[in-house]
Amino acid sequence: MRTLVLNAGFEPLAVVSFKRALVLVMNQKATIVAADAEHPVWGSSGSYDRPSVILLTRYVKIPSSRLIPVSRRGVLRRDASRCGYCGGAANTIDHVLPRSRGGADSWENLVACCLKCNNVKGDRTPGEMGWNLRFRPRAPHGTSWLVRGVERTEPHWEEFLAPAA
C-alpha cells in the first residue's frame, strides 16, 4: 500500500510506503488527510487508519530549478502513449532529429511513437518524410511530474494531483 505525501501547501511531494507514512504521523511530522478505513493497521495498542494521503506539518522547500530527468516512461506518459505522428497507440519513443544526425536525448527531441511509424521513419527527419508532428514536444512541468511514483495513481489521490486552476 502506498501513501501520497503532500507538502504543507497541499502540493504533491512524494509517494511513500504506508509504514513510512505512519511513522511520520506518529512522530507528529504529518497528519492524515485521507485513510483506507477498510484495511486498518493493527498494533499492540489498538488499530490505526491506514493513511492513503498525509499532509506534512512543516513546509519543505523544493528547489525550483530541479529538472525532470528524461526517460522512456516519462515521454510515453507526457504524450499519453499516443504516437506523435499518426495518433495511434504508442509503445516506443522516437528521436525527431535522429541521434545519428546529432539529435539529443531531450524532452524537445523525443516523442512517443507507434512501432509502425518508428520503423517507417527510420533514420530520417519528419520533414524528409513529409510528416508533421501532432504537437511540439516540450519538457513536462508541474509538481506532479517531480513526484516519484505518481505514474501509478490511486483513485483517491486524484483531487490532490489535479492541477490548480
Per the domain annotation, does 134 fall within a domain? no
- DSSP line for 134-155: SS------SHHHHSTTTTS--G
Largest CA distance in the chain: 70
pLDDT of residue 13: 85
Question: What residue type is 134 in one-letter code?
Answer: R
Domain that residue 148 falls in:
2-64+143-161
87 shares a domain with 36: no
pLDDT value of position 109: 97
Specify whether 97 is located in the same domain as 148.
no
136 lies in a domain? no
Same domain assignment for residues 81 and 111 = yes
* pLDDT by 10-residue block (mean), the chain, 165 residues: 89 88 93 86 81 93 74 92 96 96 95 96 94 93 66 75 59
Residue 23: in which H helix or E strand, if any?
helix 18-26
In a domain, 89, yes or no: yes
The predicted pLDDT at position 83 comes to 97
In a domain, 138, yes or no: no
What whole-number distance in Å separates Cα of residue 57 and Cα of residue 6? 10
